[in-house]
Structure 1
Amino acid sequence: MSDKPFSALRPALPILIGASVMLSLSMGLRQSLGIFLPPLTRDLGISVSEFTIAISVQNLAWGILQPFAGALIVRMGFRPMMAGGALLYLLGMILLATAQGVLSLILGAGLAVGAALAATGSAVAMAAATRPVSPKARSLTLGIVSAAGSLGAMLAAPLGQTVIQGWGWRAGAVSFVILAAFMIPAAWYAGKVDRLPRPAPPVGGDLSAGQALSVAMKNLPFVVMAITYFVCGMQLVFLTTHLPTYLELCGLDPMLSAKALATIGAFNALGSLFFGWAGGRWNKLILLGLIYVLRSLAFVWYFYAVPTPTTTLVFAAVIGFLWLGVAPLVSGWIAETFGLRWQAMLSGVAFCLHQLGSFTGAIGGGLAYDLLHNYTLAWQVGAGIGLTAGVVQILTAYATRPRRLAPA
């Protein structure tokens, strides 16, 4: 295979397209669930915090199950895992569309979608995309797949909001059911990666899952990266869950939240391409810390003042550029540090911390709103923790970066 990045991508395109479509729909639908919060809570007579319980369960289930899904891929292969996850995602959307109360909401949008994301989300899609390309093309490939995976929100959020405004939230949920159905053939097509030769074991032997995990947990940069990954989940899920309610609270058009989520998706693609390219040239972990710092500064700028349609879309563009750029950086660093065999599992271990942050961002924002009737405390905590984590990530990555030996 040629070392030139673009020529290296050509034979892998069928797998990459399938993985990108699957990731685009799984992430796009999940990121757009916040548009259902205002109409669903009013119709079913439940509180904001009760709705966010379902989102929190989703993120917790996703995080807990992700390492196991990554480990099972080594035994079962990608196709059974991804196709089964796509079917479960479809079931979750059906349960959402037919929800009659908190319990069915938790089972559908919470547990079913969370478990499905463990098999169709970024950790698995990135692992599948890494296999068919050369190491020199890896970072760029992950950026391209991450960029394509961000386009789902550009479709799901405006479509869902338009249907909700015209025919109600249940009809909007049915539109999500239809979109989720397309994940099944995409996952099946991406499963062609199973036909490729298994990756060679890393230097030092063919490690078991437990041994690979033990090696990773003794690696300081991995531990710090996993801990600071908490911030990524907390900030992003806070936005996708609570931004529609925040804008409604400020008296802005409900359609603005859908436009903001679509803007996030559009700039997400640009940011993913940029950080995929940049990760092949500069220290991935330092770039990761820089993302957290810039996101937190954007939080302070936007939430400190009264929002307007213009500032909301500018904020969405900035956050979108800094959104899924973390995925090629994390997946690429794990692949080049620990090898490909257990990449999905180790990415899942780090992602478990990410999802604990998502749990905190969703339910913490809901509780803060129900108690204080505003989001001031929630965004201040998110920005403060984000700045701290970003600085720690940068300092750790700088201190542990490989040193070049002076010539003899």
Structure 2
Amino acid sequence: MTTGFDEATAIGKGAIDPEARASRLGRRMVAIGFLSINLGIGLCYGTFGVMVLDIERHFGVGRAEVSLALSFVALAHGLIAPVIGMLIGRIGIRPLMIAGALMSSLGFMLIPSASGSLAMFAIYGLLVGPGTALLGVVPVLTLVNNWFSRNQGRLMGIVMMPVVITVAPLAVVAAKPVLGLAGIFYVVAGLFIGALPLLFAVIDAPERVGLEPVGGAPAHASASGASEALTAFQLWRSPHFLLIVLASGLIVGAGVSKNVHFVPILTEQGWDISRAAFLLSISGATGIAGSLLFGYLADRFSSSGALAINALLQACVWLILILPSPFALLVVDAVVIGACGGGVASAKGVFVNRFFGRANFARVSGLSALTTIPFVFAISPIVGALREGFGNYDLPLAAIIILFIVASACCASLVRTEKRLIAAN
């Protein structure tokens, strides 16, 4: 494996074209980022939805309680995100990703032997949550943003393609009769260990090896008007930051609820778990296309406009889950929800870069994740509690539709400002 020192030495001797080397290494970082996201976020969320009923039986808890497991993961993601943003500048992306793989592996290894639901929640909150965050959105999108100064939305769309979420539900349903609940968790733990050699190949930024970002050194105006790092206080005073926090919190919080409750919603409507898992897999598959589509729309037109359309589409198709619907219509619902859910992170990444600049990308991404905690942590358990209180999912689903409409309005209010930024560059 070529080291960063070897790359820099070769470039210094004129042995390699710097632009070609940057492009080659940049593509390699995109591939590793894709793997990291799919392991961290994909395995955690992709396997949980089809194991909800098994986890309920294993630990003897109700639907609202078991929903807390992913809420603790989301809580950990939010709490640790600003720390990740700070540590990226101090110790680098590579060691953080390696630590994330080790923590995630240990967490999934320990879950089957947890003494009860409290121990399970502790494992999800203290090991799986932080571990998958270290493999997740903030470090991976920062890595891509470091290596590329143009077409970030499309490249972020590539790394955010939810391939594992596509195949995990069907794989778990097929493997459960053979491996059991514990065996599934052990396999997941082993996959994190298997990824370590690739994570050791991460190079944080092209400047580390004497190169410039692909597309040239970034130099553009941002809404913040700052080319240096903004403080948390400055961000909190920014209306652009507050609006994107509110919008993304509502969208992502509802998305977490979908992963937890989608299969139970369908089984309560009379569909068997195999068909429900199939729909969940369709949702993941179209998330791949959605990640690319909304990344492209954010690059080509407006990231805030792409997010506004995203939220509005989700508000419309969630109605299908309330009404008595044929299976074909449920397929449409899964396709649209999956495409929209898969496209949020890539469009938001373009938004952060365009409004706050490269120097602030990791900090803004981390702090925005922290400030979305109330939405992400609360929405899924509230949905579970309302379902248990009212005996069905009609009221909580109607509430989620309203939240999507609010999120769409927040994003739409930023379109004009973003168009001025695009025109200035």
TM-score, structure 2 as length reference:
0.85
Residue type of the alignment partner of 2:71: S
Secondary structure, in 3 states, of the residue corresponding to 2:358? coil
1:176 equivalent in alignment to 2:194 = no
Map of 1:126 onto structure 2: 141
1:186-225 to structure 2, matched below 5 A, reads 186-191=198-203, 193=205, 195-196=208-209, 207=228, 211-225=230-244
Map of 1:402 onto structure 2: 420
Structure 2: runs of 5 or more not aligned: 1-18
Q: CA 1:111–1:152 in structure 2 vs 1: closer, same or farther (change >3 Å)?
A: same
Map of 1:22 onto structure 2: 36
Moved more, 391-400 or 196-205: 196-205
Contact 1:64 1:352 in 2 (8 A): yes
Query: How many Å apart are 1:399 and its aligned residue?
Result: 5.8
2:286 is matched with which residue: 253, 267, 270? 267
1:53 is matched with which residue: 55, 68, 72? 68
1:2-401 to structure 2, matched below 5 A, reads 9-32=23-46, 33-133=48-148, 135-147=149-161, 150-191=162-203, 193=205, 195-196=208-209, 207=228, 211-300=230-319, 302-398=320-416, 401=419
Structure 1: runs of 5 or more not aligned: none
Query: How many Å apart are 1:358 and its aligned residue?
Result: 2.0
Secondary structure, in 3 states, of the residue corresponding to 2:271? coil
**For 1:5-25, what per-residue CA distance to the aligned partner results, in whole angstroms no more than 9, with x for missing partners?**
999854412211111101011
Contact 1:95 1:107 in 2 (8 A): no
Residue type of the alignment partner of 1:75: R
Residue type of the alignment partner of 2:242: V
Secondary structure, in 3 states, of the residue corresponding to 1:374? coil
Over the matched positions of the two proteins, sequence identity in percent amounts to 22
Query: How many Å apart are 1:401 and its aligned residue?
Result: 4.3
**For 1:31-67, what per-residue CA distance to the aligned partner results, in whole angstroms no more than 9, with x for missing partners?**
2212111012123211112211222111111111111
Secondary structure, in 3 states, of the residue corresponding to 1:352? helix
How far apart in 2 are the matches of 1:7 and 1:82? 23
Paired residues, what number?
396
Superposition RMSD in Å: 2.8
How far apart in 2 are the matches of 1:55 and 1:159? 20
Query: How many Å apart are 1:196 and its aligned residue?
Result: 4.2
Query: How many Å apart are 1:128 and its aligned residue?
Result: 0.6
How far apart in 2 are the matches of 1:241 and 1:157? 12
Query: How many Å apart are 1:273 and its aligned residue?
Result: 1.0
Contact 1:16 1:190 in 2 (8 A): no
How far apart in 2 are the matches of 1:61 and 1:55? 10
Q: CA 1:6–1:29 in structure 2 vs 1: closer, same or farther (change >3 Å)?
A: farther
Query: How many Å apart are 1:175 and its aligned residue?
Result: 2.7
Query: How many Å apart are 1:256 and its aligned residue?
Result: 2.4
Query: How many Å apart are 1:387 and its aligned residue?
Result: 0.7
Residue type of the alignment partner of 2:35: V
Contact 1:78 1:193 in 2 (8 A): no
Secondary structure, in 3 states, of the residue corresponding to 1:71? helix
How far apart in 2 are the matches of 1:12 and 1:201? 15
Query: How many Å apart are 1:77 and its aligned residue?
Result: 0.5
Map of 2:11 onto structure 1: none
TM-score, structure 1 as length reference:
0.88
Residue type of the alignment partner of 1:286: G
